[in-house]
Amino acid sequence: MNAPADNEPVLLVIGYGNTLRQDDQAGPTVAELIEARALPGVRTLVCAQLSPEHAEAVAAARAVVFVDAQQAGPYATISLQVVPPGESSQVTTHAAEPWTLLALAREVYGRVPPAWLLTVPAESFGFGAEISAVTRWGIGEAVEQVMALARKTPVETDASSSGTSAQGNR
């Protein structure tokens, strides 16, 4: 597989995290909210963790956004960073990282799309369904950033020029 077919997604959004661990459900929640919008050319995947099986979908997409929760620092920020493929596609645990999936897509399918990691600030990782205020804010901001990426054409989607962060008030 050298290039995605015309019917493949322009943008693949992979939201991952544990939906039973409060703010850790930010990634899946963002992906579900994007899915509900039924944006043309956008496909979503929701999973508890990234796994090697996701490499085929990654390789088939024109661009990929990985969405995950990250422990919030003193300032609540959304971070959108370019993810280059890793040096190796070796998965040494039961879960993979975004750069490992990109390396696996390169090695198995011969293609690595532009990719970003979008992290949502999180404070609470205990058991439960409650989402903190900072993560609720971050989920809304993350959805807006994914929608902005989805509006770009594949030619305009240039991962090498990304690496931005957005800050805001909760």
Tens digit of pLDDT for each residue in 96-113? 899 999 999 999 999 999
**What crossing angle do the helices spanning 133-151 and 26-36 adopt, rounded to 10°?**
50
CATH number at residue 77: 3.40.50.1450
Is residue 161 predicted with pLDDT exceeding 70?
no
Note the pLDDT of residue 153: 47
Over residues 39-89, the pLDDT tens digits come to 889 999 999 999 999 999 999 999 999 999 999 877 778 999 999 888 766
Residue 34 lies in a domain: yes
The amino acid present at 11, given as its one-letter code, is: L
In angstroms, rounded to a whole number, what is the distance separating the alpha carbons of residues 56 and 89? 13
- At 91 the pLDDT is 58
The stretch 114-142 carries a mean pLDDT of: 95
Looking at the predicted structure, is the pLDDT value of residue 2 above 60?
A: no
CB-CB contact of 149 with 62 (8 Å): no
- Tell me the pLDDT of the chain averaged across its residues: 83
Given a cut of 50, is residue 168 above it in pLDDT?
A: no
37 in any annotated domain: yes
Asked whether residue 2 is domain-assigned, the answer is no
Domain total of the chain: 1
pLDDT of 156 above 60: no
pLDDT level of residue 95 (50, 70, 90 thresholds)? low
Cα separation, 107 vs 103, whole angstroms: 6
Asked if the structure places residue 46 within a domain, the reply is yes
**Region 25-38 average pLDDT:** 97
Res 7: pLDDT: 54
Give the residue numbers spanning the domain of 33. Answer: 11-167
Which whole-number Å values give the CA distances from 167 to 46, 75, 93, 119, 156, in the listed order? 25, 8, 33, 12, 24
- Segment 133-153 mean pLDDT: 91
Maximum pairwise Cα distance, the chain: 44
Report residue 89 as tokens. 């596609």
Residue 3 lies in a domain: no
pTM of the full structure = 0.83
Amino acid identity at 75: Y
